[in-house]
Structure 1
């Protein structure tokens, strides 16, 4: 192994908007160092990383977690709405007019 680790940092700044960058960092670099190296302001201006959660390949990571070669560091925003509440609201708006996933589509196979 060399003296550098190569990591991919991904951040969803808004719905349907994803930023991705590949970084070469010194061996032993941490999540906080990778976040700083991106230059992205991913939180409030006074503390750019206050509301951001970090995970490596989907597993929660602290700012002091050491990165390894090939890691995918994911920065996520806090949820604005509970997914269960959002689903209920969507269903209330659309009503019971369709069977959702089980609705028959034109040209679909019959059971």
Structure 2
């Protein structure tokens, strides 16, 4: 007996290019398997679908090889972070404090 097919989407984006693909996959397909079936690496050379972090609707999936998809879900392929967001916020806050202290003539500690 054939497995029932479900419709899912797989998306990936760079700063200047994005791609959304709609797929019909067998029920029971894992998040990782859907990413691999999408062929997204053909549109984005260098993209490693076997190891890329994945998510569903903006939430990271810790075990994408184990999590199975349901009808209508969107698999998101994440890029590696260039900088740690917490560190960037910390640097931005320090710079703002320095600029504010410079305007008021106070010493920054």
TM-score range, shorter chain: 0.5 to 0.7
Any idea what the Cα deviations from partners look like across 1:15-44, whole Å, max 9, x if unmatched?
Answer: 243211111111111122211211122685
**Structure 1 length normalisation: TM-score?**
0.63
1:54 is aligned to: 54
The structure 2 residue matched to 1:66, chosen from 61, 65, 68, is 68
Question: How many residue pairs end up in the alignment?
Answer: 92
Structure 1 segments (4+ residues) deviating >4 Å: 42-45, 87-92
- 1:31 is aligned to 31
Q: Structure 2 regions of 5+ residues with no counterpart?
A: 101-109
Matched residue, 1:40: 40
Whether the 8 Å contact between 1:6 and 1:70 is mirrored in structure 2 is yes
Q: For the structure 1 residues 59 and 43, does the alpha-carbon distance in structure 2 shift closer, same or farther, using more than 3 Å as the test?
A: same
- Greater share of strand residues, 1 or 2? 1
Q: How does 1:65-84 map to 2 (within 5 A)?
A: 65-84=67-86
1:107 alignment counterpart: none
How far residue 48 of structure 1 moved from its aligned partner, in angstroms, is 4.2
Query: What is the alpha-carbon root mean square deviation over aligned residues?
Result: 2.9
User: 3-state SS of the aligned residue for 1:84?
Assistant: helix
Structure with more of its chain in helix, by fraction: 2
Q: Would you say 1:7 and 2:14 are equivalent positions?
A: no
User: Displacement of 1:90 after TM fit?
Assistant: 5.9
CA distance in 1 between counterparts of 2:20 and 2:83 reads 25
